[in-house]
Structures are given as C-alpha cells and as structure tokens.
Amino acid sequence: MTARRELAAAKRASDEAAIAAARKTIHAAKVALGERGPTWWNDDTDYNRHLIKNTPYADWWAQVSRTNWPPET
C-alpha cells in the first residue's frame, strides 16, 4: 500500500520519475505475491467464467458443498 500511496502522490505532483519508480515497486510486490509472473498452478485450461458443473472439478465441488455448505458462522 505504501507504493500505491507513493504512486498517487507522484501523480498529483505530475512527477514522471516518481510515477515510474512507484509502478516498478508495485510490480515487484505483485510478482512476489504471485499475482504476476509465471502461474503457480498447473491447470491446462482456464475454467474462469464456467459453471463448476461443466468443469473437471464438478465431483469435488459436489462433495465439498454437501459436507461444508453453508459454512458455520
């Protein structure tokens, strides 16, 4: 969040060098968190925007949802 605040301040000041430095810091943090860079999972297909019943995870979800759903509060 520090880098994001620095980016906002640099934008307000129209400081292009500070903007570039903040963006570089933000990118490094995202790579370190696994949000950017090589994927850490090994699925061959991206099942985003698919109903779970139409994916290879359908059986797993059916079992999990029967035993753990709804979650206890």
18-71 pLDDT tens trace: 999 999 999 999 998 888 887 777 767 888 899 999 998 999 888 887 766 666
Spell out the SS3 assignment of the chain.
CHHHHHHHHHHHHCCHHHHHHHHHHHHHHHHHHCCCCCCCCCCCCCCCCCCHHHCCCHHHHHHHHHHHCCCCC
**pLDDT attached to residue 3:** 92
**pLDDT attached to residue 71:** 65
Q: pTM, whole model, 2 decimals? A: 0.54
**pLDDT attached to residue 48:** 86
Q: Which residues of 20-37 are buried (b: 16+ CB within 10 A; e: fewer)?
A: eebeeebeeeeeeeeeee
Give pLDDT tens digits for 42-51: 767 888 899 9
Please give the backbone phi and psi of residue 37, each rounded to the nearest 5 degrees, phi first. Answer: 100, -165
